[in-house]
Structure 1
């Protein structure tokens, strides 16, 4: 467990990457839904990068803070889900897959952005060297949180994005059977987290990709 000084330092480094990883993820869902016929998120003012429109007190603040405090090897959180009326999509089954994929794709693009921040921090000229370390630490944090959210959300358990992709791609009976898991999806996820199975599943993929992006960032 981190002491107070360490906790404050870690929060200062992780706050911006976490908030924007979650926010952009949700905006991507809403934007793609809007472009495919469902304006629900747009009409509700959720297609904005203003984090205050997306913050969930528990999922965006308390849960990541608790995981940081406990020194968890994996940090994640979630925002208020952007509302999507799947029946309002022009091609509901196909477009549901595209809407679901938008979030993880947004996290992948942000991983490249934070890799650039990391690389830039390592190559600042002398007069700007004093911000080199904070930029590099924030770059590593941004890479980590976005990879975690991307990998986590692609687990094929509804209502995670991977679950919605699977529901959209599977044939009728299998799709219906998987969709019935949705009310229990977060319970399953929490059980996987606290039994360590989630880390076992995600760990190898996460560390492989993380090392790849860190190398691209010059570390």
Structure 2
């Protein structure tokens, strides 16, 4: 976009898309982090609760700088403090806690696909309510798949690297090096935000999500 992305969408008459995007980015990140938090507590670490992170408040999970970055450039992130030394089973706990966030995104996406199919099949048909409702649910569906796939990339500081650390001592030693962590962050930034990789991935996920919704609509037509 040539200017401030929020202003661009608003001026293009895409206010519904803008609100859907903002709502889903914030909600998905918050629930992703809560997935990590509840998994950590299940594994014996009460750090998320002790630090006040078991909350739906996006400021707690994302912070003002992340929310500012979302408003300016459309990029945001979250954080859930955990202490792996408190896990009942360090290696198993590390894998479970790291995988819990992407798992939440997968569940949210599946729920959105089902609700979107139900909205198409049985929901309101009047415009613009029908279009906006379907767009809101489709945005939630593809965005959460994107967040899941992105977070499962095995590059620190993403969840995929933490899962790999749980399976491999060599990966844990490698990813614990400050230089590797810094390089990983830089590599992710360059790959996804200075190239067309992010746009390509979004296109593929949006196409797959649309097919998934169409399949569920077809199944509903047969079943009901």
- TM-score class, shorter-chain normalisation, is 0.7 to 0.9
1:138 aligned partner: 136
Give 5+ residue unaligned stretches, structure 1. 68-75
1:95 aligned partner: 93
Distance 1:183 1:88, change over 3 A: farther
| Whole-angstrom CA distance in 2 between matches of 1:51 and 1:106 | 16
1:173 aligned partner: 170
Corresponding residue to 1:5 among 6, 11, 32: 11
* Superposition TM-score, scaled by structure 1 size: 0.82
Distance 1:141 1:200, change over 3 A: closer
Q: CA deviation at 1:191?
A: 1.4
Structure 1 residues 110-167: Cα deviation after superposition (integer angstroms, max 9, x where no partner):
0011112312332345587653222101011101210111000000011100000111
* Contact 2:43-2:87 within 8 A present in 1 as well: yes
| Whole-angstrom CA distance in 2 between matches of 1:200 and 1:15 | 18
| Whole-angstrom CA distance in 2 between matches of 1:120 and 1:109 | 17
* Contact 1:117-1:135 within 8 A present in 2 as well: no
| Whole-angstrom CA distance in 2 between matches of 1:112 and 1:106 | 10
Distance 1:157 1:201, change over 3 A: farther
1:70 aligned partner: none
- Structure 1 stretch displaced more, 107-116 or 173-182: 173-182
- The alignment covers a number of residue pairs equal to 209
Q: CA deviation at 1:36?
A: 0.3
2:221 aligned partner: none
Q: CA deviation at 1:10?
A: 2.6
Give 5+ residue unaligned stretches, structure 2. 2-7, 219-224
1:199 aligned partner: 198
- Give the alignment's Cα RMSD to 1 decimal: 2.8
